[in-house]
Amino acid sequence: MDISLMGFDTPFFRNLHHILDASDDNTTHNKSTNTGPTRAYVRDARAMAATPADVKEYPNSYVFIVDMPGLKSGDIKVQIEDDNVLVISGERKREHDQEEKEGVKYVRMERRIGKFMRKFALPENANTEKISAICQDGVLTVTVEKLPPPEPKKPKTIQVQVA
């Protein structure tokens, strides 16, 4: 599939498409080579690519907006890694316990299930101690406050003495 036709012709999507195609080739031909990416890497790359997000910068904060339809707040994890990486992750599971008992089967499954994850490198002025997350109507909004700008140093006047 040509990803440039879909409007995703950026280096990130080209590389991701190449990695996913290589992974599919290795699994379909049962090649056991160690030259490709690991299974965990491919899984994480797919989870990240399938979780779109909007990022806004305000004068006093950064806001990350991620669609999470059908998820409860307990299904979503918001974490800080390495002091400056915001990680939003979780898992969407299919509800089938009750349906299996009643003999219901899927005719078509289009809604995405499985793990999802996004990682964002936060800028230096992000205050990782002041982060809030709200999930309302299937939309997760994570707000990261900015640190106040450093006060400019005042010039120091040195008295010139006569020699």
Mean pLDDT of all residues belonging to the chain: 78
Percent helix, strand, coil in the chain (nearest 5)?
A: 25, 35, 40
**What residues contact residue 123 under an 8 Å CB cut-off, 6+ apart?**
62
Q: Which residue ranges of the chain lie beneath pLDDT 70?
A: 1-35, 40-50, 95-101
Dump pLDDT digits (tens) for 77-118.
Answer: 999 999 899 999 888 777 665 566 677 777 887 777 778 888
pLDDT number for residue 13: 62
- What's the pTM value of the predicted model, to 2 decimals? 0.61
Q: Could you tell me the sign of the dihedral formed by the alpha carbons of 34, 35, 39, 41, in that order?
A: positive
Measure the CA–CA gap between 117 and 120, rounded to whole angstroms: 10
